[in-house]
């Protein structure tokens, strides 16, 4: 069985909880940061064109499209 927990480590209680989890031999803790997250998504089997479009869109400013012409732009 595999369980994923997202723990905000800013509180003292969360830090203590993580320390408790580390004491169990059957618990594996994987620390993910923003840099590792981008590496993880590259390892997934997404279409490279799709990934490049998403990354390009994240860097651009928003674009307004007239709702009457919405389907033309797709």
Separation of alpha carbons 17 and 9, rounded Å: 9
Long-range pairs of 65-71 with CB within 8 A, sequence gap ≥ 24: none
**Kindly report the CA angle at 56 between 68 and 52, in degrees rounded to 5?**
110
| For range 34-47, the mean pLDDT | 61
**Alpha carbon separation from 49 to 19, 40, 45 (Å, rounded):** 41, 17, 12
Separation of alpha carbons 33 and 62, rounded Å: 26
Q: Is the pLDDT of residue 54 over 80?
A: yes
| For range 29-56, the mean pLDDT | 72
Residues in the chain: 74
Average pLDDT, the chain: 80
Which pLDDT belongs to residue 17?
Answer: 92
Which pLDDT belongs to residue 58?
Answer: 85
């Amino acid at each position: 069985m595999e369980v994923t927990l997202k723990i905000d480590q800013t509180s003292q209680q969360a830090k203590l909880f993580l320390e408790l989890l580390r004491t169990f031999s059957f618990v594996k803790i994987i620390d993910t940061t923003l840099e590792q997250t981008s590496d993880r998504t590259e390892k997934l089997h997404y279409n490279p064109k799709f990934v490049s479009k998403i990354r390009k869109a994240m860097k651009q400013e928003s674009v307004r499209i007239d709702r009457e012409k919405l389907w033309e732009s797709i």
